[in-house]
Amino acid sequence: MSKEIEYTQQDGIATLRVNRPAARNALNWTAQEQFAAAVAEVGLDTAVRVLIITGTGDKAFVSGGDLKELSQHPERAAGERLNRVMRDALAQLTQLPIPVIAAVNGDAFGGGCEILTACDLRIAASQARFCFAQVHNALCTGWGGTARLVNLLGQARALDLLLTSRIFSAVEAAQMGLVQQVVADEVGLATAVSQLAHSLSKLPQQALAASKQLVYAANGAAPEEINRLETERFVDLWSQPDHLEALAAFREKRLPVFGGR
């Protein structure tokens, strides 16, 4: 891929990095297409056990769509394209059978916050700021962010953030539950994310996939349907090699060694 999106994978940990620091990591058309292609690649690569999404530098995570480029396309078809590409890519993020970590290295504005809502875990540098800025541009969310935000934080909090488009700090983001951890700086962020990614990569992947599927399904399904799905996944996992290894490790008083996806 070219420089807009950098995608790397090592030892089962993949990193998708938005690499447009001069534009505050805003996503132009090319970056959006490459973002979607990288997510699709992760979905096909069974060697990947964890995905990290971040931005280049310490100023911005992702500042949404690139308004400098998008302002040249007021036609309805441009809005449809902008909605479709990133909406589908973020939906696929939630469907990946692996944990997705957002390493929030800087400001997450507009669509950048929508990306955060599609990640499973979020760690932020202390200088990061957050803003659902869509209303300031006479828009609403367009990448599936509203439903995910309501599921994450509740209706009242979502209304506050979406209607006021106010800027809030990493500390407040942690207090409201949008991020799970705040670290001092870029070095601390890299360390915390690496430690989390490596710990997740050593866990039984089928169990992680089942747990993630159940959590996302619970947002929109009836309790009896979730209970049925949970029963299916639990029984399926019971006789799998990873569970048998966990039982053997318990009996033998050693650490388990789990297999792949």
pLDDT tens readout for residues 104-159: 999 999 999 999 999 999 999 999 999 999 999 999 999 999 999 999 999 999 99
User: pLDDT for 159-192, tens place per residue?
Assistant: 999 999 999 999 999 999 999 999 998 889 999 9
Task: Tell me what the mean pLDDT of segment 60-82 comes to.
Answer: 86
Domain shared by 26 and 141, yes or no: yes
258, part of any domain: no
Give the whole-angstrom CA distance, residue 34 versus residue 36: 5
DSSP 46: T
Q: Are residues 93 and 140 in the same domain?
A: yes
CATH of the domain at 166: 3.90.226.10
pLDDT value at residue 260: 57
CA–CA distance, 82 with 5 (Å, rounded to integer): 17
Calculate mean pLDDT across residues 196-225: 94
Whether 188 is covered by a domain: the verdict is yes
Residue 1: is its pLDDT beyond 50? no
Helices (H), 73-222: 76-95, 111-117, 145-153, 155-164, 170-176, 186-201, 205-218
Same structural domain, 246 and 129: no
- pLDDT at residue 261, as a whole number: 56
Co-location of 247 and 181 in the same domain: no
Is the pLDDT at 52 greater than 60? The verdict is yes
pLDDT higher than 80, residue 70: no
Is there a single domain that holds both residue 221 and residue 183? Answer: no
Question: Is residue 72 scored above 50 in pLDDT?
Answer: yes
Q: How many CB atoms lie within 10 A of CB 55?
A: 27
Q: Which of 81, 33, 88, 31 is nearest to 56 (CA)?
A: 31
Burial class (CB within 10 angstroms; exposed 0-12, middle 13-18, buried 19+) of 211: middle
Greater model confidence, 72 or 58: 58
What is the domain count for the chain? 2
pLDDT at residue 175 in the model: 98
Claim to verify: residue 90 and residue 162 sit in the same structural domain: yes
| Higher per-residue pLDDT: 219 or 129 | 129
Average pLDDT score, the chain: 94
**Residue 194 CA: distances (Å) to CA of 10, 190, 199, 211:** 12, 6, 8, 22
- Domain, as residue range, for 82: 5-201
Q: Is residue 243 part of a domain?
A: yes
Q: Which residue is associated with the tokens 């800025």?
A: 133
Q: Are residues 239 and 132 in the same domain?
A: no
Q: Is residue 31 part of a domain?
A: yes
| Residue 71, pLDDT score | 75
Q: What CA–CA distances, in Å, run from 76 to 7, 38, 73, 82, 241?
A: 31, 26, 8, 10, 52
